[in-house]
Amino acid sequence: MLLRVGSRGSRLALAQAELAAERLREPGVQVALVPITTIGDRDRSRPFGEIGARGVFVKEIEEALLDGRIDVAVHSAKDMTSSDTAGLAVGAYLARDDARDALCGAHELRPGMRVGTASVRRRAQLLVLEPGLAVEPLRGNVETRLRKRRERGLDAVVLAACGLDRLGLGGEIGLRFAPGDVLPEAGQGAVALQVRAGEEEVVATADDAETRRRVEAERACVAQIGGGCLAPVAAHHDGETLTALVADEDGRWVERRSGDDPLAVAAELAAALARA
């Protein structure tokens, strides 16, 4: 049996696809990696909000899965839309790695620093922590953003800690933000294996039940709020409690709520957002 596993073609994405392949290989099962270029990969200059809504790094991979050109799609769970695409399902989540955001180039935030990020979620929370920051747009894969930091003379950039760790670049990290300071994106740190609905058994052995429990709570909360790349929305389950937030992208206000029920937490945040 041959499983065609589709993934973005970046070094990080292929490293994550290989992690999935390791879990899927077994006697009688071969795995072939199929790199796929997404619109988010092709357009590396415009802000995400100008390209489209959340999902700019998954759409073409999902289309290949629906068309039968691949059998499994591997995504960073944070890149996926908060609700499943019709005809597709997440058949497995690999065990989650570090979900935190990381500051590269400095060990702390200081007034006047120039910090690069393309994420409105990160921008909002960084400005809450230190209103005197100059947050500048910065896109590209992990290596590109680290290089651009040096080329542009930025004091720091903010990236997902898990990506740096997976690439062996953890030494670039000066500070791993506590979730209480910078709440991660829903699904951050987790790798999702997506299949056609009804074919979940193809990847079932790779599923980590605890990661699924946490990530699905985060995705359900964000879906209920209606957030995505265009809105500073975040959700993170620490194993005991789900915490979510909505914020102004310039950090003028932030609303956090915690609880056990994703829909109840989302309802509280939606009410707070309506009052803002």
Q: Which residues form the catalytic set?
A: 79
Name the token pair of 130.
């230190």
Which among 215, 253, 217 has a CA at the least distance from the CA of 232? 253
Query: In degrees, to the nearest 5, what angle opens at C-alpha 83 toward C-alphas 78 and 88?
Result: 100
The CA-to-CA distance between both ends of the chain, in Å, stands at 55
Which among 260, 251, 253, 258 has a CA at the least distance from the CA of 275? 253
Name the token pair of 56.
């700019």
Identify the three-state secondary structure at position 210.
Answer: helix
Q: What is the DSSP letter of 87?
A: T
Q: How far apart are CA 197 and CA 209, in angstroms?
A: 19
Q: What is the DSSP letter of 26?
A: B
Pairing of β 101-104 and β 156-160? antiparallel
Q: How far apart are CA 92 and CA 16, in angstroms?
A: 13
Q: In what order do the strands lie in the sheet with 254-259?
A: 233-237, 242-247, 254-259
